[in-house]
Amino acid sequence: QICLSLVKLLFYLAHSPLGSIVLLDFQPRQFVMVDGNLKVTDIDDASTEELSCREDNDCTLDFPTKSFPLKCSTVGKCEGINEKKNLFNAYRYFFTYLLPHSAPPALQPFLSDILNATGDLRYGINETLKAFEKVLHLYKSGLYLQKRPLHLKDYISLKGFRMVEGEDYKCWPSYSHLGCLLSVHSAEEAAAICNSQSQCQSFIVTQRRTWTGRPLASFQSSPTDLIPDANAVVYIKRSASSGERL
């Protein structure tokens, strides 16, 4: 969410009515999340000036660990230097820390491609935004799940019950510090996640939603603490269920 919002902001800066705008003091402390959108807190260091040049050799974009040769345009300006400077700073201050491990395994190769392409400045802001939106579409639609085997058959469902919320085993990246609360596309994906965790014996797909509209599923190591809830369904591993527990 943070990286996509940042890319949308940089897309606007690259195509603003004032021309391409560069953030000269590009640091994480210069940004804040407001209602799910990243905002710049200080625009004193924003500039529309692009580096003047006479030849391509005048257009090297230097960073502490990398340098990129750019072209000198016919009007004597280094082509795309403001856009590329913003994008590489987004890569080194945000993407490198937030993109790895921040998506289901099937989508991680797409994020790795974005990371590598922006790190080498092979992508401009237009291509980067398009790539992020593709990943978001796959994530929200669940298309990345199409080739997975069916796991829900390994579970029995108890309609009209939910689990008592409390401290349980932890997982990453959980939305709750008390237990394992993860975003899922469906009960089928939740079953696959539960199968992959040795502690998990049951789960419930809650009514809570993330910023993408995906529900949160709560995973637990014990299916015994159940309370009535007409709108809920508890899924319990068949291997964990017994007549006494049910």
pLDDT digits (tens, 9 = 90+) for 88-123: 999 999 999 999 877 888 899 999 999 999 999 999
| pLDDT of the residue at 222 | 79
Q: Are 194 and 186 in contact (CB under 8 A)?
A: no
The catalytic residue among 25, 45, 58, 120 is: 25
Angle at 98 between CA 94 and CA 146, to 5 degrees: 135
Token representation of residue 227: 């309370």
| pLDDT of the residue at 86 | 96
| pLDDT of the residue at 165 | 75
User: pLDDT tens, 72-82?
Assistant: 999 999 999 99
Asked whether the predicted pLDDT for residue 9 surpasses 60, the reply is: yes
d(CA 8, CA 22): 14
Tell me whether residue 25 is one of the annotated catalytic residues. yes
Asked whether the predicted pLDDT for residue 124 surpasses 50, the reply is: yes
| pLDDT of the residue at 54 | 93
d(CA 97, CA 87): 15
User: pLDDT tens, 186-240?
Assistant: 999 999 999 999 999 999 998 899 999 999 999 999 766 788 888 888 999 987 6
Query: What does the mean pLDDT of the chain come to?
Result: 89
d(CA 97, CA 119): 13
CA atoms within 13 A on the CB side of 53: 21
d(CA 115, CA 183): 23
Q: Which helix (H) or strand (E) holds 188?
A: helix 187-196
| pLDDT of the residue at 68 | 95
> What's the DSSP call for residue 240?
T
Q: Give the residue with greater pLDDT, 242 vs 133.
A: 133
| pLDDT of the residue at 245 | 45
Asked whether the predicted pLDDT for residue 154 surpasses 50, the reply is: yes
Instruction: Read off the pLDDT band of 181 (50, 70, 90).
Output: very high
| pLDDT of the residue at 67 | 94
Number of other CB atoms surrounding residue 5 within 10 Å: 18
Listed in order, strand segments (DSSP E) in 102-241 are 155-163, 180-183, 202-209, 215-220, 226-237
Query: What is the share, in percent, of the chain residues with pLDDT greater than 70?
Result: 96
Q: Which helix (H) or strand (E) holds 223?
A: none
Token representation of residue 169: 């085993």
d(CA 25, CA 30): 8
d(CA 117, CA 140): 23
| pLDDT of the residue at 224 | 65
Q: How many helices (H) and strands (E) does the chain have?
A: 6, 11
| pLDDT of the residue at 148 | 67
